[in-house]
Chain A
Amino acid sequence: MEDIVKGIGLLLEFQNILLILSGVLIGVLVGALPGLSSPMAIALLIPFTISLDPVAAIAMMAALYCAGTFGGSITAILINAPGAPPAVATALDGYPMAKNGEPGRALGLAAVSSVFGGVFSLIVFIFAAPLLAKLALEFGPAEYFGLAVFALSMLASMSGKSSLRNLISGLVGVLIGTIGIHLTTGVERFTFDIPDLEEGIHFVPVLIGLFAVSELFKQSEKLNAVVERIQAKALRLPSLLELKKLKYTILRSSGIGTFIGILPAEGSTVAAIIGYNEARRWSKEKDKFGKGSPEGIVGPEAANNAAAGGAMVPTLALGIPGSGSTALILAALIMHGFRPGPYLISETPEFVYAIFGAMLIANLGFLFIGLVGAKFFSLVAFIPKKLLWPAVFIFSMIGSYSFASSMFDVWVMLAAGLVGYFMDRHGFSAAPLVMGLILGKLVEESFSQSMIIHDNNFFALLESPVVLLFFVLTFLSLSSPFWTKFFSKK
């Protein structure tokens, strides 16, 4: 209890509240702009928040993350162009409802269910994260290695076209993490006699390149796309009677979203799609789906926002990112000198509660911003791409450069952007690569330490029941396409 009060106390400084609200505003704005995404905004924000107090910096990013998920639904509903991937399912019924003359109602349903999903997952977070961290404190290097391997295997089921390519991307990320001086022996690896590579590749330019610059190249293909907008004067909150009718759908989706969010590597998009499908499956009015069903809006919205909170559980408790955005928050934590994982919660619990508080404020903040600013946010989607993307590139350049005042990092950013663009074209997602990059150090360190402890006998690792459990889970995760097919046939 004392830690919760301390955590809230950390947040209550005027500067911190202001930064959280700025995070919410940027999040909704970025979410509402098709092409821009929360991971991209967080990646761009990291270098500029390095000089801030860690609580303020991480709280701002967490707020942006929560609000970005909701922001995507505004354009999904009003222009049928989901601002962010998690809002894809919202467009299926949100846009038809808006077309039927009820855009305010659609936005209101999305906002209220998002807030509910978000708050629900935060309540789970506040209880689950310390429990999980307590459990993880018992972990040794072998258990951590098992956990990291399991987390990497979960990359296979991340959104994207191909599980195999997601895994390759993840492992390439781990491989990139080996560039630089080997910590144990001091030997240079893959440095090609380039001094800038000795301390490894910095996270920031890679993240900015993969998320922002590669998207710029993609957008340069469709600069003249025309979108049709439905006028929304204001957001209309649903009545209590309507909420009563939808309570089971919202509750179910919040549970689904939180659970999926907690799973390593599973993000809001997967949660939203499952939330939508389950809402349809349990609905008494299945025929209304696709034509503006309220259940079709609250189902995915509660789920995608709940996944945002859920994803923070493994991120903070285990140091294993729950999604692309949380991988970036994890990178920011590392850059601020923290050691994400169980020690973060056991040694600085007030910091974790401050993040919880920031996400709570963000959830209430975007409801308020949605109420007063839905009309404005639907307009931002019409900022000409020909002006918006040069601005994004300028921010990307400054962000990459300012992190270490190095032009080499700007080149890394451009190279990452080019690689990201061609990866996407050929079905390789960028998010698994980022997660692999962030997990890379943990994988190698825990692998080396376990090998040393067990005299280079890999099979000795399996003597630990926890490692065995993680390896079984890894096997189940990798073979899931086969057994899910087998059971669905039955």
Chain B
Amino acid sequence: MKNQKNAPKGLGALLNKNDTIIAILLTLIIAFLWFETTKFEKVPALFSNNIPPEMFPQILLIIILGMVLIIPFEHIFLKRNGKNIDSSRKTRVANSTIGTMMILSIIIASSQILGAALTIIAVSILLPIYWGERRLKVLIPYVVGFPLFVIVLFNIILGVHFEPGLLDLIKS
């Protein structure tokens, strides 16, 4: 009963809040990309066979925009088919996921300084520890063995070039 009282009415019932935000964001991105297409270098019609380079992306942007505008109302049709679009996003993004995203971004950002070998070691140490792995008898063999395996396989056997990074500095 209480839920019914609090249920949104009018336009609020028609629009899904999360999807409205997504639609606004996507519309802004589409507007920006459309603006970008207007800045493409102009080519004479003869040279472009009357198909200017911005034509195809602009057609795509218009079609995508048309679809994006339906998104806020889509939950109504989905509900009729027994689907709940909010089921996968009813909980907020877990702290562990945000932390993981940040750690990986930092590792990639510093990988040019660290070099490939140290980056691999950093991932092998930081992620398991951040995720709560504390068993040393598992961690130590993993941290030593896995990077060694990867370096031998890719760098020595398959010949993938690994940037030396900090190791080069230490050597010299």
Which A residues are within 8 Å of any B CB, using their own CB? 48, 161-162, 164-165, 167-168, 171-172, 174-175, 178, 182, 184-185, 187-190, 192, 213, 216-218, 220-221, 223-224, 384-387, 389-391, 393-395, 397-398, 401-402, 405, 407, 410-411, 414, 418, 421, 424-427, 444, 447-448, 451-452, 456, 481
Contact = CB atoms under 8 A, between A and B. Distances in A.
Interface in B40-70: 40-41, 43, 47-54, 56-57, 60-61, 63-64, 67-68, 70
A153 to B, nearest CB: 12
Contacts of B54: 189
Where chain B touches its partner, the secondary structure class is helix
Contact of A390 (B37, B52, B112, B123): B123
Given A190-B36, A414-B105, A426-B89, A174 B60 contact: yes
Nearest to B29: A172
B108 A411 contact: yes
B61 A175 contact: yes
Interface in B123-156: 123-124, 127-128, 131-133, 138, 142, 146-147, 150, 154
A197 B56 CA distance: 18
A218 B146 CA distance: 23
B88 interface: yes
B108 A410 contact: yes
Given A175-B60, A393-B104, 7 more contacts: A213-B104, A390-B127, A394-B150, A397-B108, A398-B160, A414-B104, A451-B50
B28 interface: no
B119 interface: yes
17 contacts: A162-B83, A162-B85, A165-B74, A185-B43, A185-B53, A189-B40, A221-B96, A386-B131, A387-B146, A397-B108, A397-B111, A398-B154, A402-B160, A414-B104, A424-B88, A425-B93, A426-B89
B97 interface: yes
Where chain A touches its partner, the secondary structure class is helix
Contacts of B57: 175, 178, 189-190
Interface residues of B, number: 64
Most buried by B among A165, A385, A386: A386
Contacts, number: 158
Contact of A172 (B43, B64, B116, B131): B64
B127 A405 contact: no
Given A190-B33, A384-B133, A164 B74 contact: yes
A93 to B, nearest CB: 23
Given A162-B83, A178-B60, A414 B123 contact: no
